[in-house]
Each structure stands twice: as C-alpha cells, then as structure tokens.
Amino acid sequence: MRIAQVSPLFESVPPKLYGGTERIVSYLTEELVKQGHEVTLFASGDSETKAKLIAPCNKALRLDSESMDPLAHHFTLMEMVQREVDNFDIIHFHIDYLHFPLSRRMLIPHVSTLHGRLDMPDLIPLYKEYKEIPVVSISDFQRKPLSEANWIETVYHGLPSNLYKGSYGEGKYLAFLGRFSPEKRPERAIQLAIDAGIPIKLAAKVDTKDHEYFETVIKPMLNHPLVEYVGEVSEKEKQEFLENAIALVFLIDWPEPFGLVMIESIACGTPVIAWRNGSVPEVIEDGVSGRIVESMEEALCSIEDVKKLDRAKVRACFDKRFSAERMAIDYLEVYDQLIKTKSMSNINFVYKNV
Amino acid sequence: MRIAQVSPLFESVPPKLYGGTERIVSYLTEELVKQGHEVTLFASGDSETKAKLIAPCNKALRLDSESMDPLAHHFTLMEMVQREVDNFDIIHFHIDYLHFPLSRRMLIPHVSTLHGRLDMPDLIPLYKEYKEIPVVSISDFQRKPLSEANWIETVYHGLPSNLYKGSYGEGKYLAFLGRFSPEKRPERAIQLAIDAGIPIKLAAKVDTKDHEYFETVIKPMLNHPLVEYVGEVSEKEKQEFLENAIALVFLIDWPEPFGLVMIESIACGTPVIAWRNGSVPEVIEDGVSGRIVESMEEALCSIEDVKKLDRAKVRACFDKRFSAERMAIDYLEVYDQLIKTKSMSNINFVYKNV
C-alpha cells in the first residue's frame, strides 16, 4: 500500500527529547515500512526514517530558536501533501484539525488520528462542521466530549516490541515518570510512598508553566529521606528506571487521552498503580498489569497486590495489546476500510452520473 | 458591490476594549455600508454593524473564559464564508493567512489585508508557497521582510472623520498612549519629559507578559513630580487626553507596521514626536503633523518645533490621508481591480477551452 504519514513539525520524528505524537508517528511509520509498505513521511528535516522523507522545514520547530510562528510551516506542509496526493492510496494525518479544509476537498482516502484531549467547548462547532471527516481516537474515553465527530475506530498506541524488555526481578522502589505538573499529581505519588514507608524515585521534567507549582508544592516534599529526584531520564535509562521499580505510580487527576508511560512500564514487566481517570481502565487490566484505584487508601492497599503480580504476565499484556506491530495492523485495517468505502462511493458517483 | 468582510474572532467588531484589527474592520465595514454597498460582515456574534452579520461564535473569544482553542472557530468561520461565496463580488479577509488553503481554491475574487508585523522567518516559505494570493499592506515598510508575497497595494488605516475633532488650544503636557511594553519605550517618553522639565501624562495598560518590565523599569519612574499615570483611557476620554497635549510622544523601538495612535493624535490636531522606525515616516509628515527624530537630543529639540506647528494643519493631514472614507475608497479601487483581473482571466480560460 502507498501510505503518507503527516506528522506535526514541532519535534523531529522520532523526537530528540519529548513529543508523544511524533514518537508514535515514528513507530507506526517504521513498522509499516518493515511490513513492506511504501511509506512517505512528511516531517521536519531532522527526522530519521526508513520511509521517504518530505520535509517542509529543516529543523523541528520547538528547538528552532528562530521560529516564532510554527503554524505557518504546517500550512506549507499541507500544500506539499496536496501536491503529492496522486502518489498515495491513503493519507494519514496527525496534525489535529489543521488540514480539514483541504482534506474535506480531497478525492483520495484520508484519516486523522487525534492525539490530544478533546474536552474543549471550542471543538464542538468545529467537529459539527467537519462531521464527515474520518477520525481515529487513541482511547474510547477520548471520544466522549465529541460525539459530533465521525469516529471510525479506536487504535491504541504501540511501542516497538524490542524497545523495552520484560525484566522480572523484585522491585525496590515506587517510580514516578513524567512531568511535575498539577494534573499528573506527583504529590500523590510522594505521599503514597511516605505513607507506605517505601522509597520513591521521581524521573521528571519541570515545564516553565509549572515552575511555581514545582517550587511551592513539590520541592518541599523532595527533602524526605524516602524521596529521590533523579532528574530527567533518557530513553535508554528508562528501562533500568522502570524495571527496578515495584510499580509505576500514575495517580493522575486529568482526562488522560492515552498515557504512553503506562505501556512503557508494562513493557518492562512493571505493574502500574493508576487512578481511575481518562483512558486508564482501557490500558490497565486491573489485577493483571496493575491496580486501578480511586482513593489514597486504595492506592496504599494496592502496593501489596502489585508485588504479587506475575511480571511476565504484565509484559504479556503489553505484547498482546500495545506493540507497534499490533498498532500498524489496526491502522492497515482502517486504511483498507476507507479505501473500499471511497471506491464504492466513487462507483455510486459514476452510476448516478451515467 | 456585494462585499464580504471577514474579521478575526478574538474581539467583537468594533472591540469592546482593545483590538486594532477589529476596529479597522468595523470602520471599513460601516463606511462601505454608508457608501451604498451591500456588505456582509463575518465576525463574533456580539459585534455591532449596519452590515449583515454572520457569526460563527456568539462571543468575542478573548473575553470568553470558556474558550481554550480560538483557532478552531476560525476554521468554522472559513467554511461559513465558503458556503456563501456566490453571494459576493469580492471577499476581503483580515485573518492573517488562515484562509489561504481555501481562498487559493476559490473562483471568486478575494484580497487579504495583513495587519501584523511580518519579520518572522517562518513566513518566508509560507508566502513563497502562496505567492499568487493578493495581499494588501498597511504601510510600505510592512512589506520589506516579505518580498515573496503578491503585494497589490498599500492602504493606510483610516478613522471615521467625526470620531475625534480637531481642537486647537495650547497643549499643557506630553502624552504617552498605548501599552507599557519594552518596544513602545515609555521610559524614553518619561525621560524626555523630565529632561525638558515638562509634565507628562501616561495613559496605558500593562499586559501580563510585560508585568516584570513594568515593575522594574517603569514603576520607579512614575514617582517623579512631572510624571502622572492616568491608567487606561476609554475611547471617549481619549479626545480630551490627546487634545490637551503639546504632543504625543511615540519614541518606539520596533518595526511598527502602522501605529493607529499616531493618526488618533493628529485627528485631534495634536502633533506627534516620533522615532524614525517602521511606518513612522509614512504616517507623520515631518514639520507638518509632527517631528521625526532619531535620538533623545533630537527629541528634546523637537518639543519647541511642535509647539509652533499649526494644529489646524495637523488635523488637515488626518483629513487628507487617514479618514475612513479615504480608506474605503482605496479598498474599493483594489476590489475593482481584482474583479476586472479575475473576469479577464475567466474570459481567457473560456477562450482557451472553446
């Protein structure tokens, strides 16, 4: 199949540092190439891929100090895609709704994965307007605020199977991995460790917007003897950080549309203690790959539960449901379905006009 | 002529508080209606106009605390315009480049006024891509960083002739009007007043992003006995504030694309002491409606010069070049020219295809 993947330009594909969307675009692209498809990747020029790369800008925009208006490059991106449409059987967009005015008028099949949270009232009139545009959700939960959209499938994210390896030793500490931001609730994670009398290690970055929250809420908690802040960890260090943990602590307080870190953890065989919120019940199998909790008391009890879980079975949950291979197969089914629908509607169009 | 005006949705038309673009869209729209044209205004639902109003959202987005993604509404705006194209002879866009993917594919004439500064490197590939789209600059200076664009005219902003009245009494103080932001250089204005031993009144707002600059640089200067900070002034209070000033002090340090406050001042008959920067030499007639300076020494000398200027002649500069009537006439010429070009290219198209 001739497939175009259209990535945002904020980070390279894969990203040098953070960037959830661009990471997934990379995993999907490389897996589709591996499965023998002819893939064209539209992404920033510093991306690395086995697909054919078409780049509307040389550098990822978030790291380009000269860039003041990143939106502008996404407009040139869209026109570059438009010029190439005849070379594709399907176009897969990952750039939110930016391409809707163009893709609505395209004659070839296209699909858009929505990567972010969708509970903004501004989006309701938008998706009412573009109600025919086929969109894929990254969890069933993500769809809830937007019944107006033309949802055709939920495709969970996946990671390459060899990115992390299952490791089945005994955990030594609780792990927090992510950003120090109020909605991730690192203070819940720290409190849990202190209450349980178990060490916690926190691998996290502080965004500028969360600086005050970090200084006032988190920093004072880091002095406790059970608490260790290890700074940011690289992709490589993540394996060691996660595999030696009793559990990943994910006591979030926001409508998480997916939560990549949960599947990173189970890929290492490390169970997750997760607050019931957003996509959590879809990603974590309660009692198999972790525990889903709704209070600090439940979280405290769950520590003994997760210690008893079979870490090989935790990894098996990853292999079955969250590999990049499975993700690619799911998307190929979506592509097939859209190509068939489009060709049927083209046949109907010809019949009607004869 | 059947004319569509497409405004941004950040402020109502006219704006309740600030909003340069939406103010100009309002003045132009009402003047075109007054001149007998059939005008449709696309703007937020709380706009007030004698034209036909089509509103993609009920409230101006900047004042709508529920709005988290204002861009989304501009996409529904564009599709609403697209659905109405057959009802217009020309569409005039004021929404930056957001509509380019759609307007490039429109069969009817359209033009876009660019209201902001254009010296961002991101814009160069964008305007290379969309090089056929006809655009209007608000000063010749504004065009400089973007030779790639299809500039068809410069149309200076205009104000309704009766919005301010020429008032020819003797000025009592120097006036600063605008925002306390580093690029507006209020500290130059204050220093000038202190050096000259003349009182200065400052009518200005402080944006959140400029808070630190205000606290550290400006606030300490406000204690001087010659300096009076009068807060923000309403449209009504502006007349009195400006007409009683010796001069408006406009010692900016940024590439000003137009500078509405300069023409507000001369509409009151009050000359402007302006730093040579951006559009300044196009707006101010040196020695007639004010003085253009390039140093603090020149600014100091210029105070005696502006006191001697004939304030009726200052107002005459406004009447001749910066009325809304003149602005509308200029735009009507642009519309005519584009309609003719489009119909010629349509005739050529028909000839070629017969």
Model confidence at B2: pLDDT above 70: yes
Does residue B166 sit within a domain? no
For residue B14, whether the previous peptide bond is cis, meaning omega lies within 30 degrees of 0, is yes
For residue A75, list chain B residues with Cβ-Cβ distance below 8 A.
97, 100-101, 126, 129-130
Model confidence at B343: pLDDT above 50: yes
| Type of residue numbered B309 | L
Tell me, what CATH number does B132's domain have? 3.40.50.2000
Contact by Cβ (8 Å): B216, B245: no
Q: Are residues A56 and A27 in the same domain?
A: yes
- Interchain contact, B101 vs A97, CB within 8 Å: no
Contact by Cβ (8 Å): A174, A249: yes
Cα–Cα distance list, B240 to B32, B172, B173, B228, B245 (Å): 29, 12, 12, 15, 9
Which position has the token pair 């149309």? B155
Contact by Cβ (8 Å): B92, B231: no
Q: Are residues A86 and A221 in the same domain?
A: no
For residue A225, whether the previous peptide bond is cis, meaning omega lies within 30 degrees of 0, is no
For A236-263, the pLDDT digits (tens) are 899 999 999 999 999 999 999 999 999 9
| Type of residue numbered B148 | E
- Interchain contact, B126 vs A57, CB within 8 Å: no
Cα–Cα distance list, B188 to A21, A51, B238, B276 (Å): 46, 56, 21, 14
Minimum Cα–Cα distance from B123: chain A residue: A72
- Residues B208-215: contacts with CB under 8 Å, at least 24 apart: B209/B181, B210/B179, B210/B180, B210/B181, B210/B182, B213/B180, B213/B181, B213/B182, B214/B180
Q: Are residues B217 and B153 in the same domain?
A: no
Q: Are residues B179 and B311 in the same domain?
A: yes
Higher pLDDT, B208 or A112: A112
Report chain A (354 residues): mean pLDDT per 10 consecutive residues.
Answer: 97 87 97 98 98 96 90 98 97 98 94 95 96 97 95 98 93 95 95 97 91 94 96 89 98 95 98 97 98 97 97 98 98 97 69 53
Say if strands A52-54 and A38-42 run parallel, antiparallel, or are unpaired: parallel
Does residue A132 sit within a domain? yes
For residue B9, list chain A residues with Cβ-Cβ distance below 8 A.
none
Q: What is the pLDDT of residue A346?
A: 64
Higher pLDDT, B258 or B205: B258
Does residue B165 sit within a domain? no
Which position has the token pair 């502008």? A72
As given in the structure block, the two tokens for residue B23 are 């103010």
Does residue A222 sit within a domain? yes
Cα–Cα distance list, B214 to B125, B178, B219 (Å): 36, 13, 6
The residue of A54, A59, A76, A79 whose CB has the most chain B CBs within 10 angstroms, and thus the best one to mutate to test that interface, is: A76
* A125: nearest CB among B56, B97, B122: B56
Q: What is the pLDDT of residue B235?
A: 80
Is any Cβ of chain B less than 8 angstroms from the Cβ of A96? no
Taken in order B42, B46, B47, B50, is the CA torsion positive or negative?
Answer: positive
How many residues are recorded in chain B?
354
Q: What is the pLDDT of residue A354?
A: 47
Q: What is the 3-state secondary structure (H, E, C) of chain A?
A: CEEEEECCCCCCCCCCCCCHHHHHHHHHHHHHHHCCCEEEEECCCCCCCCCEEECCCCCCHHHCCCCCCHHHHHHHHHHHHHHCHHHCCEEEECCCCCCHHHHCCCCCCEEEECCCCCCCCCHHHHHHHCCCCEEEECCHHHHCCCCCCEEEEECCCCECCCCCCCCCCCCCEEEEEEECCHHHCHHHHHHHHHHHCCCEEEEEECCHHHHHHHHHHHHHHHHCCCEEEEECCCHHHHHHHHHCEEEEEECCCCCCCCCHHHHHHHHCCCCEEEECCCCHHHHCCECCCEEEECCHHHHHHHHHHHHHCCHHHHHHHHHHHCEHHHHHHHHHHHHHHHHHHHHHHHHHHHHHHC
Contacts of B311 (CB under 8 A, 6+ apart): B166, B167, B168, B269, B270, B271
For residue B76, list chain A residues with Cβ-Cβ distance below 8 A.
125-126, 129
Which position has the token pair 């969307």? A21
Query: How far away is chain B from the Cα of A2, in angstroms, using its nearest Cα?
Result: 24
Query: How far away is chain B from the Cα of A140, in angstroms, using its nearest Cα?
Result: 22
Q: What is the pLDDT of residue A343?
A: 76
Q: Are residues A211 and A262 in the same domain?
A: yes
* B76: nearest CB among A67, A121, A126: A126
Q: What is the pLDDT of residue A18?
A: 74
The count of CB pairs under 8 A between chains A and B is 72
How many residues are recorded in chain A?
354
Contacts of A35 (CB under 8 A, 6+ apart): A325, A328, A332
Does residue A39 sit within a domain? yes
As given in the structure block, the two tokens for residue B192 are 């000038």
For residue A146, list chain B residues with Cβ-Cβ distance below 8 A.
none
Which position has the token pair 């089509």? B54
For residue B79, list chain A residues with Cβ-Cβ distance below 8 A.
101, 129-130
Model confidence at B194: pLDDT above 80: yes
As given in the structure block, the two tokens for residue A230 are 């290890």
Q: What is the pLDDT of residue B45?
A: 97
Does residue A165 sit within a domain? no
Q: Are residues A10 and A154 in the same domain?
A: yes
Is any Cβ of chain A less than 8 angstroms from the Cβ of B78? yes
Query: How far away is chain B from the Cα of A124, in angstroms, using its nearest Cα?
Result: 9
- Interchain contact, B72 vs A102, CB within 8 Å: no
Domain tally, chain A: 2
- Interchain contact, B67 vs A121, CB within 8 Å: yes
Q: Name residue B150's beta-bridge partners.
A: B134
Q: Are residues A267 and A290 in the same domain?
A: yes
Higher pLDDT, A207 or B35: B35
Q: Are residues A280 and A142 in the same domain?
A: no
For B295-312, the pLDDT digits (tens) are 999 999 999 999 999 999
Range of the domain at B146: 2-160+323-352
Write phi, then psi, for A7 (nearest 5 degrees).
Answer: -95, 155
Q: What is the pLDDT of residue B344?
A: 75
The residue of A75, A78, A130 whose CB has the most chain B CBs within 10 angstroms, and thus the best one to mutate to test that interface, is: A75
Model confidence at B117: pLDDT above 60: yes
Q: Quick one: which of B219, B214, B225 has its CA closest to B181?
A: B214
Q: What is the pLDDT of residue B236?
A: 85
Q: Quick one: which of B248, B238, B244, B246 has its CA closest to B293?
A: B248
Is any Cβ of chain A less than 8 angstroms from the Cβ of B67? yes
Collapsing DSSP to helix, strand or coil, B213 comes out as: helix
End-to-end CA distance of chain A: 30
Is any Cβ of chain B less than 8 angstroms from the Cβ of A79? yes
Does residue B58 sit within a domain? yes
Rg (CA), chain A: 21
Cα A58 from Cα A37, distance rounded (Å): 26
Q: What is the pLDDT of residue B16?
A: 83
Query: How far away is chain B from the Cα of A280, in angstroms, using its nearest Cα?
Result: 24
Q: Are residues A110 and A124 in the same domain?
A: yes
Does residue A168 sit within a domain? no
Contact by Cβ (8 Å): B273, B247: yes
Q: Are residues A139 and A255 in the same domain?
A: no
Cα A339 from Cα A341, distance rounded (Å): 6
Q: What percent of chain B has pLDDT over 90?
A: 88
Is any Cβ of chain B less than 8 angstroms from the Cβ of A73? yes
Minimum Cα–Cα distance from B59: chain A residue: A122
Rg (CA), chain B: 21
For A118-161, the pLDDT digits (tens) are 999 999 999 999 999 999 999 999 999 999 999 999 999 999 99
| Type of residue numbered B328 | A
Q: What is the pLDDT of residue A132?
A: 96
Contact by Cβ (8 Å): A108, A91: yes
Taken in order A328, A330, A331, A337, is the CA torsion positive or negative?
Answer: positive
Is any Cβ of chain B less than 8 angstroms from the Cβ of A66? yes
Contacts of A24 (CB under 8 A, 6+ apart): A94, A115, A157, A260, A327
Write phi, then psi, for A81 (nearest 5 degrees).
Answer: -60, -45
Report the C-alpha dihedral over residues B265, B271, B276, B282, rounded to 10 degrees: 70
Q: Are residues B134 and B108 in the same domain?
A: yes
As given in the structure block, the two tokens for residue A84 are 């190439």
Contact by Cβ (8 Å): B93, B335: no
Q: Quick one: which of A243, A326, A256, A253 has its CA closest to A284?
A: A256
For B167-192, the pLDDT digits (tens) are 898 899 999 999 999 999 999 999 99
Cα B347 from Cα B345, distance rounded (Å): 5
Model confidence at B14: pLDDT above 70: yes
Q: What is the pLDDT of residue B354?
A: 47
- Residues A21-26: contacts with CB under 8 Å, at least 24 apart: A21/A94, A21/A115, A23/A260, A24/A94, A24/A115, A24/A157, A24/A260, A24/A327, A25/A94
* B97: nearest CB among A68, A75, A122: A75
Contact by Cβ (8 Å): A7, A54: no
DSSP run (H or E) holding B39: strand B38-42
Higher pLDDT, B345 or B216: B216
Minimum Cα–Cα distance from A78: chain B residue: B101
Q: Are residues B300 and B339 in the same domain?
A: no
Query: How far away is chain B from the Cα of A229, in angstroms, using its nearest Cα?
Result: 31
Contacts of A324 (CB under 8 A, 6+ apart): A27, A28, A30, A31, A158, A159, A160, A161
